Structure 1
Amino acid sequence: MKFFIDTANLAQIKEAQDLGILDGVTTNPSLMAKEGITGQENIINHYKKICEVVDGDVSAEVIGTTYEEMIKEGEVLAALHDQIVVKVPMIKDGIKAIKYFSDKGIKTNCTLVFSVGQALLAAKAGATYVSPFIGRLDDVSSDGLNLIHEIRTIYDNYNFDTEILAASVRHTMHIIDCAKIGADVMTGPLSAIEGLLKHPLTDIGLEKFLADYKKGNA
């Protein structure tokens, strides 16, 4: 499973990259605003900085909601760097835009997916990634992980190339469960990724090893 980090914070992206396990980055206007990055020129420059830090795909989201707006914005974003993936919302014009980009060889990430039917349409249109938001589904008492499972089943039935990118990952167990189900990619905060490192028995074991070493080498 690929590991993406969901942030616009360069320090966190660098920290994840330094771990040696980072495969890409996803971000959006809300995450940009959280870092104080506003204005089209600043946002564009920030995407370029992210591409300089990571080796993998970087999802850059369009703001427009009409087909024409998404095509115009997406082509500008795709021209920034080979690593850019154009992030398009799951709406009617978004599906049309994904098909256009797919035919042009431009990678896409279909975002805000909450149903298996939406995921099916995204794959039919040729999306590179489809992003079901499992955490947001959990928030409204729906089963986000079951959605991943259903999408996996349908994609495998028809050998779709679209990768399932589990988004809105909130914690470490989301990552583990998505890996069990067969999500191709997860994207979440650095805290969730680093949570995989932690286990109390590891801490206890290391503490004992070091204590025994000190006794034997006092």
Structure 2
Amino acid sequence: MKFFVDTAQADDIRELNDYGLLDGVTTNPSLIAKSGRDFKTVVGEICAIVDGPVSAEVAALDFDSMLREAHTLAAIADNVVVKLPLTLDGLKACRRLSGAGINTNVTLCFSANQALLAAKAGATYVSPFIGRLDDINLDGMALINEMRAIYDNYDFSTQILAASIRNANHVKDAALAGADVATIPPAVIRGLVSHILTDKGLDQFIRDWQATGQSI
């Protein structure tokens, strides 16, 4: 499963990229707003840090404006993926952009039927929001399983990008369900390495080694 980091903070992206853990980045208007910086400048900076895809979202809601904004975003760097809302206009824009060879990420997916439409529109990625479904007492991971079955039934090339990841269990369960990608907050990615038995074992090894008085 590919790991994208879900942030617009360049320092976090650089750190995780240096560890060799990143395959790409996703941003959204809320994350850009938190950065307090110019949108296109931030996207360009991120694209220069990572070689993989960087999702940048349009702000428009109508087809014509989406296309105009999409071409502006795609011109920033070769690895920009244009992020579009899962609406009829968004799907229409997705089909047009996909036909022009521009990669797309259809976002805010909450049902298998929506995911089916995104795949038919030629989306490169579709982003089901696991955590937000869990928030309203629905099973976000069940959606990933449904999408995987549908996409495999018809050999759709659209990649399932598990989004709204809240914790390590979401990452594990998305991988078990066959999600192609998980986009994960920086703190959750860092936390995946942690286990109490790893810490305990390392502490024991260090103490035993120090007791030998040797060095390497």
Q: Say which of 156, 159, 163 aligns to 2:159.
A: 163
TM-score computed with the length of structure 2 as normaliser: 0.98
Matched, 1:3 2:3: yes
Query: Match for residue 35 of structure 2?
Result: 35
Preserved contact between residue 27 and residue 60 of structure 1 (Cα < 8 Å): yes
Shift of 1:35: 1.3
Preserved contact between residue 171 and residue 191 of structure 1 (Cα < 8 Å): no
Amino acid at match of 2:64: E
Q: Which runs of 5+ in 1 are unaligned?
A: none
Superposition map of 1:34-183 within 5 A: 34-37=34-37, 42-183=38-179
CA deviations 1:149-176 (Å, max 9, x no partner) are 0000000000000000000001111000
Q: Which runs of 5+ in 2 are unaligned?
A: none
Query: Match for residue 199 of structure 1?
Result: 195
Runs of 4+ in 1 over 3 A off after TM superposition: none
**What SS does the corresponding residue of 1:123 show, helix, strand or coil?**
helix
Shift of 1:57: 0.2
Shift of 1:75: 0.7
Q: Distance in 1 between matches of 2:163 and 2:209?
A: 44
Amino acid at match of 1:83: N
Matched, 1:18 2:14: no
CA deviations 1:67-115 (Å, max 9, x no partner) are 0000000011111111000000000100000000010000000000000
**What SS does the corresponding residue of 1:64 show, helix, strand or coil?**
coil
Q: Distance in 1 between matches of 2:76 and 2:14?
A: 20
Amino acid at match of 1:58: V
Preserved contact between residue 131 and residue 165 of structure 1 (Cα < 8 Å): yes
**What SS does the corresponding residue of 1:30 show, helix, strand or coil?**
helix
Query: Match for residue 214 of structure 1?
Result: 210
CA deviations 1:35-81 (Å, max 9, x no partner) are 112xxxx2111100001111100000000000000000001111111
Shift of 1:21: 1.4
Shift of 1:193: 0.9
Q: Distance in 2 between matches of 1:118 and 1:89?
A: 11
TM-score computed with the length of structure 1 as normaliser: 0.97
Preserved contact between residue 85 and residue 108 of structure 1 (Cα < 8 Å): yes
Amino acid at match of 1:168: S
